[in-house]
Structure 1
Amino acid sequence: MSEKSNEIPAARDLLALLNLTDAVVTMDAVHTQHDTATALTSAGADYVLSVKTNQKTLYARLKALPWANIPGHTTTEHGHGRRATRTIKVADVPAWIRFTGATQIAQLRRTITRKGKRTVEVVYLVTSADARTAPPEVLATWIQGHWKVENRLHWVRDVTFDEDRSQVRTGNAPRVMASLRNTAITLLRIHGHENIAAALRHHARDAPRPINPLLTA
């Protein structure tokens, strides 16, 4: 995949600043890059990299593997008006996977049922963590934790705050605005708001109302 975005090398630069010894780093599909895998293993970390349809060839080859013959580990959760069922199947890495240190691959199927409507997402994973360190249930927990961050922070910034279309792009301004958005989201979470869009509308109706979370945080 072309590095047309600054996000890929920027992530590597950030990782280089951290002590990653014995850490496990989960990353979105855009960061499923050979150089990123090499950087993480060289720093003493294990990685869990997602493979989605943005990498068509790799996704197709992983999809074509005989997953039906591999037993799965399934969990189901209920909450927030929905049922989430996750099934993970794990196999040894094929010889044609060239990511540095890769030892396992996995298929993770997530089925969400809300108000009778069902959506299914299938993601493939490549990880350097071996079967002893990351059996299926552990690997699934790592990815679930990653998705929680994605859903509760990144998705809110992208959709509710429409961050991707922000015209603030020069100097330190993008970093400052990102920090302010994170601060607003955190304050609203602390005060019990699960729906950030609804919370923003609630506070916008009364000018003094947004001051209260700041005074009681």
Structure 2
Amino acid sequence: MPATPVCPTTASIVDTDDPVLGGLADIPSAPRELREVIAQIPDPRKARGIRHRIPAVVLLAATAVVAGACSFAAIAQWAHDCGRELLDTAGMADAQIPSKPTIRRILEQIDAHTFDLLVYEWMRLSFTTIDGRRIIACDGKTVRGAKDSDGNQPHLLAAMDHRTGAVIGQADVAAKTNEIPMLRELLGQFDLTDRVVTVDALHTQRGTIEHIVSRGGHVVMTVKKNQPALHKELAALPWSRIDGESAVDRSHGRRVRRTIKAAQVPAGVAGFPLIGQVVQIRRTRTVHGRKHVELVYLISDLDMAHAQPAEIAAWVRGHWGIENRVHYVRDVTYREDASRIRTGSGPRVMATLRNLALGMHRAAGHRNIAAACRHYQHCLQDAIKLVLTSGTPTLT
């Protein structure tokens, strides 16, 4: 067995003062450990000849992905680096350490939909609030390196908790459909009562807002010219006669003035029901002395008595966290778009393992995911402890 590395302190890669991560220590601990959840995955194999249990292999894969593994080969190499004794102690090895073909075969055979439901139900235990509200961002991502037998690339629609950046739900968008109807299936995993759902312009649809509100939820939608009648009617509102709030941002080497205005409009504007208010965000960017003006329109079923325009604008900015904190990290740190995993459930299962790793990293207080992966790659016991206890590793 290789010598277990001596782990340096993790304090250097944990940002306890981050306003987004602040308060994660207050999240109630899960009533079940992750290993209990993984143990519920059904085994599609015949009982005769089984040498490796599915829970042991999935836990091993999850731990390797926490340490930055991006492929089946990397998972197998990480397992052999750990050695038999360490994996036996953690309950992640059976008759022998699983090989790459064994890991690939098992992860490609398990029911990806059931795996998603089990993992994300457990992940939702970390659901947190912002100013008393629970806010969900929904957006899709294509796994560009993978293709099925018909040449279609997997496209996964995910839901993210705004505050923690943890993915708390995922649905597979089949080749013969698109994100719009699949959003309802994804949201079917949640109790939407008093939740706020933020979506991009693709999902600005009458049926979507009716579905979310009918289930007790609230919605914030961006309006673009894919809804031409609605966009034209919102742009024609008397914005010049409405007072707004302005703020100037000088970060990132540029000057940006944001002016937020809000108007309440009669229900059924441009055929859209249940609109409580319209928010206009005017962004004036000054770069090298040149001004660039951008207008964005938002609609919400919440009226001004229940949500201030500045809150709605902040929720929309938080919505793009799913791009920066989930999709970007999966693409850059985990090289998802370069992954050649294609067969069976492999692409979707690996995407779920990456989302699971991101959630556990952030719950442990890590802001820089790449640095966290490097730490756990060298500190095998910390990685195993993180997955098996589902909590923050002990700082040394």
| TM-score, normalization by structure 1 | 0.71
CA apart distance, 1:111: 4.3
Deviation string, structure 1 residues 157-200 (Cα, Å, up to 9, x no partner): 5688786797766643332232344456665996554xx8xx59
Name the structure 1 match of 2:263.
91
Alignment partner, residue 305 of structure 2: 132
Identity over aligned pairs, percent = 46
Q: Partner of 2:296: helix, strand, or coil?
A: strand
Distance 1:191 1:19, change over 3 A: closer
Q: Is residue 88–residue 136 contact of structure 1 (8 Å, CA) maintained in 2?
A: yes
In the alignment, what sits opposite 1:42?
214
Is 1:109 the counterpart of 2:282? The answer is: yes
Cα-to-partner distance string for 1:59-85 (whole Å, 9 max, x where unaligned): 233223332222112233454555544
**AA at the equivalent of 1:46:** H
Aligned 1:109-188 pairs, distance under 5 A: 109-111=282-284, 120-157=293-330, 171-182=344-355, 187=361
Q: Does 1:64 align with 2:236?
A: yes
Single out whichever of 163-172 and 175-184 deviates more from structure 2. 163-172
- The structural deviation recorded for 1:45 is 0.8
5+ unaligned residues in a row in structure 2: which ranges?
1-175, 387-392
Distance 1:160 1:36 in 2: 33
Question: CA shift at 1:150, angstroms?
Answer: 3.2
**Alpha-carbon distance in structure 2 between the residues aligned to 1:160 and 1:18:** 29
Q: Identify the range of structure 1 (159-168 vs 123-132) with the bigger mean alpha-carbon deviation.
A: 159-168
**Secondary structure of 1:134's aligned partner:** coil
* Structure-2 separation of matches of 1:112 and 1:213: 45
After superposition, the Cα gap between the structure-2 partners of 1:159 and 1:98, relative to the gap in structure 1 and judged at 3 Å, is: farther
Once the two structures are overlaid, the 10-residue window that deviates more, 183-192 or 117-126, is 183-192
1:30 lines up with 2:202 in the alignment: yes
Instruction: Answer whether contact 1:38 1:99 (CA < 8 A) is retained.
Output: no
**Distance apart, 1:130 and its partner CA:** 0.9
Q: Which of 1, 9, 14 is residue 181 of structure 2 equivalent to?
A: 9
The two structures have a TM-score, normalised by structure 2, of 0.43
Counterpart residue type for residue 36 of structure 1: T
C-alpha RMSD over aligned residues: 4.0
Distance across 2 between alignment mates of 1:52 and 1:169: 35
Larger RCO, structures 1/2 (Cα 8 Å, 6+ apart): 2
- Give 3-state SS (helix, strand or coil) of 1:97's partner: helix
Instruction: Note the residue ranges of structure 1 that are not aligned, 5 or more in a row.
Output: none
Q: Retained in 2: the 8 A contact 1:73–1:136? A: no
Which shifted more, 40-49 or 93-102? 93-102
Q: How far did 1:36 drift? A: 0.8
Could you say what secondary structure the match of 1:12 adopts? Answer: helix
Worse overlay, 14-23 or 79-88: 79-88
Q: Which has the higher strand share?
A: 1
Q: Secondary structure at the match of 2:320?
A: helix
| Higher gyration radius (CA) | 2
Contact 1:81 1:115 in 2 (8 A): no
How far apart, CA to CA, are the structure 2 residues paired with 1:120 and 1:163? Answer: 35
Q: Matched residue pairs, number?
A: 208
Instruction: Please name the residue that 2:85 is paired with.
Output: none
How far does residue 49 in structure 1 lie from its aligned partner after superposition? 0.8
- Do the aligned partners of residues 176 and 89 (structure 1) sit closer, same or farther apart at CA in structure 2, a change above 3 Å counting? same
Q: Counterpart amino acid of 1:27?
A: V
Give the Cα–Cα distance (whole angstroms) in 2 for the partners of residues 56 and 210 of structure 1.
55
| Gap change, CA 1:10 and 1:53, over 3 Å in 2 | same
Which deviates the most, 39-48 or 99-108?
Answer: 99-108
Aligned-residue offset at 1:148: 3.0
| Range that drifts further, 177-186 or 88-97 | 177-186
1:23 CA displacement: 1.2
* Partner residue in 1 for 2:223: 51
